[in-house]
Amino acid sequence: MYKGLVKFFISVAEFFYLGDRIIIGLFKRPYYSHETFKQMYDIGIGSLPIVLLTSVFTGMIFALQTGHELAVFGAKMYIGTLVSMSIIRELGPVLSALVITGRVGAGIAAELGSMKVTEQIDALRAMGTDPVKKLVITRFLAGLVVIPCLTILGDGIGILGGLFVATAAFGITPVFYWKTALQPLTTNDLIMGLTKPIIFAIMIIWIACFTGLNTTGGTEGVGKSTTKAVVISSVTILVGDYFITQILIWILAM
């Protein structure tokens, strides 16, 4: 047990050391802009279909469920309000982050893990290239830009999915739906909806890169690192979402 605790605290220290190297590396040359744009394309375009598909059906299901419950109390006209606020504040950022974790986080961990066990990372060091600068920071910058954009697109598609159900199943006109969906939104809602994806992007890329760079044990180790990256990122997103929400509510209420 003692050895397990020591190993755990060493891993935590190495995790934050990687974060320190990422922050320092952001302001140092070279920037590997070509690799960064390539990662933006891979993360953004590659994840777009699954994020949009998840978002549209989330909006449709949420509108369907809340619509039937609200109709009992004669309040189905508030479907748009519930859908827009729920998706922008919570469902959009969290579900998009979880979906991206399953695709991007796993992919990064597997790719870097494979490079680690085949000694490609050691080869980069031998050639005088900083692996963190070339492999980690490029993915970090790409995720930091693309993941919030994917979340915004997902939010919009989710609200459109709610519009489809509201008009088809409950007879609400599109004009009235948009009015009730957009009018109640405040600046605080938008701040919360934009802050969470940025923090989740940092979590996903940071954790995936760390687990990939610390892969051991050949191809079996790559599989374990991939699973670990997805599990840790997913739990961190769900647990962190509560604390992020609590902190933002406290800050925005000041």
DSSP secondary structure, the chain, as one string:
-HHHHHHHHHHHHHHHHHHHHHHHHTTSS---HHHHHHHHHHHHHHHHHHHHHHHHHHHHHHHHHHHHHHHHTT-GGGHHHHHHHHIIIIIHHHHHHHHHIIIIIHHHHHHHHHHHHTTHHHHHHHTT--HIIIIIHHHHHHHHHHHHHHHHHHHHHHHHHHHHHHHHHH---HHHHHHHHHTT--HHHHHHHHHHHHHHHHHHHHHHHHHHHT--SHHHHHHHHHHHHHHHHHHHHHHHHHHHHHHHHHHHT-
pLDDT over 80 (residue 31): yes
Residue 235 in any domain: the answer is yes
Kindly tell me if the per-residue pLDDT of 60 is higher than 90.
yes
Would 16 be classed as within a structural domain?
Answer: no
pLDDT at 45 over 80: yes
Q: How confident is the model at residue 1 (pLDDT cuts 50, 70, 90)?
A: low
pLDDT of residue 232: 95
Confidence of residue 59 (pLDDT cuts 50, 70, 90): very high
Looking at per-residue confidence, does 101 or 119 come out higher? 101
3, part of any domain: no
In a domain, 242, yes or no: yes
Residue 11 lies in a domain: no
In a domain, 119, yes or no: yes
Q: What is the mean pLDDT of residues 21-41?
A: 90
Per-residue pLDDT, 10:
87
The mean pLDDT of 55-79, rounded to a whole number, is: 89
Q: Calculate mean pLDDT across residues 12-35.
A: 89
> Among residues of the chain, what percentage have pLDDT more than 70?
100
Average pLDDT of the chain is: 91
Domain count, the chain: 1
Domain presence at residue 6: no
Residue 94, domain extent: 33-252
Domain-embedded: residue 25: no
